[in-house]
Amino acid sequence: MTDFLPWIVGLIFLGVVVYYIWHTLKDPGQKTAPEDRYHQALELWLDGDLKGATDLLRDLVQDHPSSIDPYLQLGNLLRLQGDPGRAAVLHRGLTVRDGLSRSKKVTVGLALTEDLLELQKWEDAKNVLDTLVRDASNKAQYWKARFRHWHGMDNQPEAARSLKHGIKAVPEADKPWFAQAYSSYQLDRAMMHVRAGQFSEASPRLRDLKKFPEAQTRVTLVKAMLAAFDNDPGKALTLASQDLFDSPQELSLFLPVLQHVLLASGQYSRTVPILERACQSEHAPPSLWIDLALLYEKLGDRSKALNLLESKTGHGGFTPNEAAPMLKILVNDEPAADFSRIWTVLDMPVENHNWRCRVCAQQDDDIRWFCPQCHSFDSYEARPVTTPGG
């Protein structure tokens, strides 16, 4: 009997191996534990394979319908792939599960809120957020969602207050984002009021930003815009001279507005000294030189206008587009010597630009600091204008 014992043990071991191989081949999915499959799905997601991650999670929840995290992430993936309706069904189902921890209830509730916001179900999103206020008010995602639902309901004051509450409530690492978002949102609101002629509505939005020093250059820009639209170019230029002449980006936004109101105002003697001082700045753009040259022309001092423009030869950016207002005056003169003097110092033309959100490609004729389409902040940038056949 002792002689056969090794053979018996070997046969038993062989049987176990054969059974394991047969069982694995019969049901390949059993060779990977649910936790491993879940992590594989997350890895596919991180690698950008959203479809592969979705398929793996869908199989996983079918095999393990009592799971929580796979359901949660499957819903998030569906929303990211443009199906917030199905995502909301999954996430709403999780909210009624028994035994969810408080932190998990917050996570699920915030995910459901994101679905509802994508569906533009503003009131439903508000109701979910109301149930989370006690446990989630220290989370950045909560206040971002609050902002989106108030803005979606066209309640801009409450939307702004949500961002301001976020500054106080969220962890230190998230506070700068909320401070920047609040500043940009209030500046955008103020600028929209200015362009709509609602000057009394713009000023309070700017006062809201007194405690935000990083926003003061843009505040000055909007104040200068307000003065210009309110037919006070002298005040507009005074404001600009305080902060904008050393801020090229903001100055370039202000000057097109100034160009329209300056010559129409008739306040030449008041504006000429301010413009002369501004043109001495190394950041002064060509459009500012043209504004000053046009004032000289209005005052009957063409030689001073021409000498100013000739002195800017080689500074860059002095194109026919920029010089057009002055060229229109000179082109009909006989002889055409003055026109030729300016034409010969101009740079090559540049493309026209408009403003486009780099996140969603929403376009606007003027700068904005908040995109109403995708709710991004500070996302607008100048882009070349595409012309037919160009």
Q: What is the mean pLDDT of residues 356-383?
A: 88
Q: Could you write out the three-class secondary structure of 325-351? A: HHHHHHCCCCCCHHHHHHHCCCCCCCC
Per-residue model confidence (pLDDT) at position 260:
62
| Residue scoring higher pLDDT (37 or 256) | 37
Query: In the sheet where 353-357 sits, what is the strand order?
Result: 363-364, 353-357, 380-384
| Residue scoring higher pLDDT (89 or 237) | 89
Q: Which helix (H) or strand (E) holds 353?
A: strand 353-357
State the Cα–Cα distance between residues 100 and 133, nearest whole angstrom: 17
| Whether residue 389 has pLDDT greater than 50 | no
State the Cα–Cα distance between residues 217 and 242, nearest whole angstrom: 9
Instruction: Say if CB 167 and CB 179 are below 8 A apart.
Output: yes
State the Cα–Cα distance between residues 39 and 32, nearest whole angstrom: 11
- Tens of pLDDT, residues 5-42: 555 545 444 554 445 554 454 454 444 677 888 888 78
Q: Which of 146-155, 322-331, 371-380 is the least confident region?
A: 322-331
Per-residue model confidence (pLDDT) at position 31:
44
| Residue 352: CB atoms within 10 Å | 11
What tokens appear for 385 in the block? 């204008």
State the Cα–Cα distance between residues 240 and 255, nearest whole angstrom: 10
* Alpha-carbon distances, residue 180 vs 133, 160, 214 (angstroms): 23, 12, 9
Instruction: Say if CB 326 and CB 305 are below 8 A apart.
Output: yes
- Tens of pLDDT, residues 349-366: 444 457 889 999 898 888
Per-residue model confidence (pLDDT) at position 131:
95
Amino acid at 191: M
Summarize the chain as % helix, strand, coil (round to 5). Answer: 70, 5, 25
Residues recorded for the chain? 390
* Alpha-carbon distances, residue 271 vs 258, 260, 265, 292, 299 (angstroms): 11, 14, 10, 9, 12
> Phi, psi (5° rounding) for residue 282?
-65, -20
Considering 18-27, 128-137, 253-262, the range whose residues carry the highest mean pLDDT is 128-137
Confidence of residue 312 (pLDDT cuts 50, 70, 90): confident
State the Cα–Cα distance between residues 121 and 149, nearest whole angstrom: 8
Per-residue model confidence (pLDDT) at position 387:
42
Residue 263: strand, helix, or coil? helix
To which residue do tokens 């955008």 refer?
Answer: 188
| Whether residue 311 has pLDDT greater than 70 | yes
